[in-house]
């Protein structure tokens, strides 16, 4: 909080800015667009551009950098998921494109492992598709998928989380093999799978028809996302987008999911930076910030601090805090509530089903790591 004007633009509106110790979450603003990204966005302001052309060229640039056949900038990864399901149902049939979300006469089922139901699967339904579960809560077998594929199957969805692979889920490799043998496309939510760089775009290179990336994890405007995929899939996905709605006068379901020209070039700049930056330096900084958060907590009885060096995906380092409330007097949930009630509010969280706090440094501005550590310590009289 080196800056006396911290958060002024929000305060002037009567809104209360917060310190983000949760990480890259949509609710708090995703990520801070980086200087290179802001510079590109600024330059976009100087001229208008037909957005159908910009989408095409931005997509080509991103596809080249990420090493996939095709890419498209969308209104978040969520929109990429919605546009992809619509594309798998309607293809390039203009009548069907304009009929959605009414799916009469179309393949409209998206298969999803029961074990892989998750918060964002709602995005798969918005174009009119119906989610059909396969496998059980315990495990998914090859047979489960074989049996689930039917005449109404539009696609098979897969949720990729390399940080914590699920040993009882059907693998993506098996999913692709079985689905493709039956002529069914495979789509992957890999929103946060961006590091190490060889996993960025990996699922399409493995044979999936589509995967999404949330650009909020890359320091792009958080309102953008990336659809990566085969040329055919991305072409059909583009037919659903708001630029096709206006440019082709064919009314796809993507019209409310707009992306501005500044955001499109911002997303390209963010990908370029991500693919060329010094990631060792990025990780070293995150480790330093994490240690700064931990330092004031050392020696407080009943608090266990642990540096998490899970550097897969988008979260670099983090700090796990376990509270023995009988010894230190507060539960994890109480610590979260008190930090949020302080000035300025610090947002952290205890995830559902857990009782510890994971501090992520991704969203901490200069100096805020120290503030977070000291504010937690102060709750325990330090």
Ligand X SMILES: *Cc1c(COP(=O)(O)O)cnc(C)c1O
List Cβ neighbours of 259 (8 Å cut-off, separation of 6 or more).
Answer: 73, 74, 75, 223, 224, 242
Using CB under 6 A, pick the residue from 157, 202, 216, 349 that binds ligand X: 216
CB of 122 to ligand X, least distance (A): 10
Using CB under 6 A, pick the residue from 6, 120, 356, 380 that binds ligand X: 120
- Between 259 and 300, whose beta carbon lies closer to ligand X? 259
| 380 binds ligand X, rule: CB under 6 A | no
Please, which residues bridge with residue 317 across strands?
Answer: none
Half-sphere exposure of 310 (CA within 13 A, CB side): 18
Site for ligand X, residues 196 to 215, rule: CB under 6 A? 214
192/24 Cα distance (integer angstroms): 10
CB of 163 to ligand X, least distance (A): 11
Site for ligand X, residues 69 to 98, rule: CB under 6 A? 76-78
Using CB under 6 A, pick the residue from 55, 109, 144, 189 that binds ligand X: 189
Using CB under 6 A, pick the residue from 26, 102, 163, 310 that binds ligand X: 26
CB of 189 to ligand X, least distance (A): 5
Residues 218-237 as x/- pattern, contact with ligand X by CB under 6 A: -------x------------
Site for ligand X, residues 242 to 301, rule: CB under 6 A? none
To 10 degrees, the CA torsion angle through 296, 283, 312, 156? 110
312/309 Cα distance (integer angstroms): 9
- Between 41 and 330, whose beta carbon lies closer to ligand X? 41
Using CB under 6 A, pick the residue from 191, 220, 239, 271 that binds ligand X: 191
To 10 degrees, the CA torsion angle through 273, 276, 278, 283? 60
CB burial string 298-313: b at 16+ within 10 A, e below? eebeebebeeeeebbb
CB of 214 to ligand X, least distance (A): 3
Q: Name the H helices within the chain.
A: 8-11, 35-44, 51-66, 76-90, 94-99, 142-148, 172-181, 202-206, 231-239, 242-247, 261-276, 279-294, 325-328, 332-341, 368-378
- Between 37 and 297, whose beta carbon lies closer to ligand X? 37
Q: How many residues does the chain have?
A: 382
- Between 131 and 295, whose beta carbon lies closer to ligand X? 131
CB of 379 to ligand X, least distance (A): 30
Residues in binding contact with ligand X, number by CB under 6 A: 11
CB of 206 to ligand X, least distance (A): 18
Sheet strand arrangement including 303-308: 303-308, 318-323, 357-360
CB of 216 to ligand X, least distance (A): 5
CB of 366 to ligand X, least distance (A): 25
Q: What's the Cα-to-Cα distance from 264 to each of 38, 42, 46, 219, 229, rounded to whole Å?
A: 12, 12, 14, 13, 18
Binding site for ligand X (CB under 6 A): 26, 76-78, 120, 189, 191-192, 214, 216, 225
């Amino acid at each position: 909080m080196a800056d006396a004007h911290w958060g002024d633009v929000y305060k002037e509106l009567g809104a209360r800015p917060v310190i983000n110790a949760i990480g890259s979450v949509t609710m708090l603003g995703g990520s801070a667009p980086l200087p290179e990204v802001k510079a590109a966005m600024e330059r976009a302001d100087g001229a208008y551009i037909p957005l159908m052309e910009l989408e095409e060229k931005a997509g080509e640039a991103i596809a080249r950098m990420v090493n996939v056949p095709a890419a498209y900038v969308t209104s978040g990864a969520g929109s990429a998921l919605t546009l992809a399901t619509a594309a798998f149902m309607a293809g390039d049939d203009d009548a069907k494109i304009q009929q959605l979300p009414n799916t009469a006469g179309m393949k409209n089922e998206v298969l999803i492992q029961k074990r892989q139901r998750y918060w964002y699967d709602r995005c798969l339904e918005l174009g009119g598709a119906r989610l059909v579960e396969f496998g059980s809560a315990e495990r998914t077998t090859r047979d489960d998928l074989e049996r689930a594929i039917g005449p109404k199957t539009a696609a098979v969805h897969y949720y990729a989380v390399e940080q914590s692979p699920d040993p009882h889920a059907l693998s993506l490799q098996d999913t692709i093999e079985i689905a493709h043998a039956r002529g069914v496309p495979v789509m992957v939510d890999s929103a946060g799978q961006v590091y190490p760089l060889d996993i960025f775009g990996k699922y399409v290179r493995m044979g999936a028809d589509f995967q999404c990336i949330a650009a909020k994890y890359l320091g792009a405007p958080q309102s953008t996302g990336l659809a990566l995929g085969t040329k055919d899939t991305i072409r059909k996905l583009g037919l659903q987008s708001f630029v096709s709605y206006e440019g082709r006068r064919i009314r796809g379901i993507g019209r409310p999911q707009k992306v501005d020209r500044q955001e499109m070039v911002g997303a390209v700049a963010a990908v370029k930076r991500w693919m060329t930056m010094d990631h060792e330096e990025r990780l070293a900084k995150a480790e330093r910030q994490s240690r700064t958060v931990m330092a004031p907590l050392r020696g407080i009885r009943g608090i266990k601090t642990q540096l998490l060096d899970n550097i897969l995906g988008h979260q670099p380092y983090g700090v796990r805090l376990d509270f023995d409330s009988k010894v230190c007097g507060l539960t994890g949930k109480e610590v979260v509530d008190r930090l949020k009630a302080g000035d300025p509010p610090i947002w952290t969280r205890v995830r559902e089903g857990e009782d510890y706090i994971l501090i992520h440094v991704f969203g901490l501005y200069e100096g805020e790591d120290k503030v977070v550590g000291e504010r937690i310590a102060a709750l325990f009289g330090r």
